[in-house]
Amino acid sequence: MAIEVHALGPGIAAEVRGLRLWEPLDPADVELLRRLFGEHGVLVFRRQSLSEHEYADFCALFGSLEHTVRTDWASRVRPEIGLITNLKGSNGNPLGGLGDGEVEWHSDQTYMANPATGAALYAVELPPEGGRTYWANLVAAYEALPERLKQAIDGKNAVFRYQKRLNKYKGADQKLSEEGRKRTPDVVHPLVHVHPLSGKKALYLDPTTSIGVVGMPEAEGNALLDKLASHAIQAQFVYTHNWQVGDVLLWSNGCLMHRREPFPSSDRRLMKRATLHLPADLHIIPKTFMPAEMAAQ
């Protein structure tokens, strides 16, 4: 069956039909999918039924798989697969990450020097209501900015800190261990990147980790970041995904933010997640500076 592509969202997100991802793919189809992923930022495949090996091997066609940092969330069959779930084991410990609460607008790994920007979720169990995931198109959001805001952020860089996200979800008193701080020092990324395929500019934002703009007073920098984020999450830039069991969805964090709505804790949600280093010829890979380099400039 030939591949069919259906646009889903406002300039992002496409559903690809006609593929059974458990079967070997034709090399020409793989090339087409890689390009479609670069162009759309979100790719959806529905009605899939995959073993963890089949799923991981499929994801690896788009970039090298990262072993999840959270080994306690990792699958035992295939350690590159992490569980995103509210389910608990018989000992009462969570089997995976992110629980049942809201996951606020963010982009993955923005606090890393070399963020793995690709991610995939495979829906295995879903709550009857809630738990939808939203993606904001940061290319369209950039394009729609008033000219004076485009100028205000031209050449500007933001500082990202893991500790901020930790405090948001685990409480204000949570401190990173010495080792954790070493693994995630503050990093600096430009606020705007150019997409390698379209040549269009995209915002790079993460309100859950950004702590300011380099060269601006803290309050002013954060006010600017807040303004950009509230602009970017307006409905006209957002694709909402209504999950169905069997969905495989890939996204590219370099040109998007995402958020998950909460769902009732008495319901079950189980997603299998893969994390990927995507190629720079097809995806935005944020540039990174270390704050010390910036200070020396």
Nearer to Mn ion, 224 or 251 (CB): 251
Q: Hey, what are 245's tokens?
A: 């069991």
Rounded Cα gap, residues 262 and 245, in angstroms: 18
Q: How far is the CB of 258 from ligand OGA (least distance, A)?
A: 6
The closest of 94, 71, 97, 70 to 83, measured between CA atoms, is 97
Q: How far is the CB of 85 from ligand OGA (least distance, A)?
A: 9
Interaction of residue 186 with Mn ion, rule CB under 5 A: no
- Binds 83: which of ligand OGA, Mn ion, none (CB < 5-8 Å by kind): none
Rounded Cα gap, residues 273 and 74, in angstroms: 9
Q: How far is the CB of 102 from Mn ion (least distance, A)?
A: 12
Residue 252: beta bridge partners? 118
Nearer to Mn ion, 262 or 291 (CB): 262
Q: How far is the CB of 229 from ligand OGA (least distance, A)?
A: 16
Chain residues that interact with ligand OGA, rule: CB under 6 A: 84, 98, 103, 108, 119, 121, 133, 258, 260, 271, 273
Q: How far is the CB of 258 from Mn ion (least distance, A)?
A: 6
Span of 16-24, 102-110, 268-276, 283-291 interacting with Mn ion by CB under 5 A: 102-110
Span of 101-109, 158-166, 224-232, 271-279 interacting with Mn ion by CB under 5 A: 101-109
Interaction of residue 108 with Mn ion, rule CB under 5 A: yes
Residue type, 119: A
> Would you state the torsion angle of the CA atoms of residues 86, 259, 276, 22, taken in this order, to the nearest 10 degrees?
60
Nearer to Mn ion, 100 or 108 (CB): 108
Rounded Cα gap, residues 147 and 168, in angstroms: 33
Q: How far is the CB of 245 from ligand OGA (least distance, A)?
A: 14
Nearer to ligand OGA, 260 or 283 (CB): 260
Nearer to ligand OGA, 19 or 126 (CB): 126
Would you give the binding string for Mn ion spanning residues 65-84, x where CB under 5 A is met?
Answer: --------------------
- Binds 273: which of ligand OGA, Mn ion, none (CB < 5-8 Å by kind): ligand OGA
Q: How far is the CB of 33 from ligand OGA (least distance, A)?
A: 21
Neighbours of 45 (CB within 10 A): 22
The b/e string for 51-82 (b: 16+ C-beta within 10 A; e otherwise) is ebebbbbbbeebbebbebeeeebbbeebebbb
Q: How far is the CB of 260 from ligand OGA (least distance, A)?
A: 4
Nearer to ligand OGA, 165 or 201 (CB): 165
Interaction of residue 206 with Mn ion, rule CB under 5 A: no
**Closest chain position to Mn ion (CB):** 108
Footprint of Mn ion on this chain (CB under 5 A)? 108
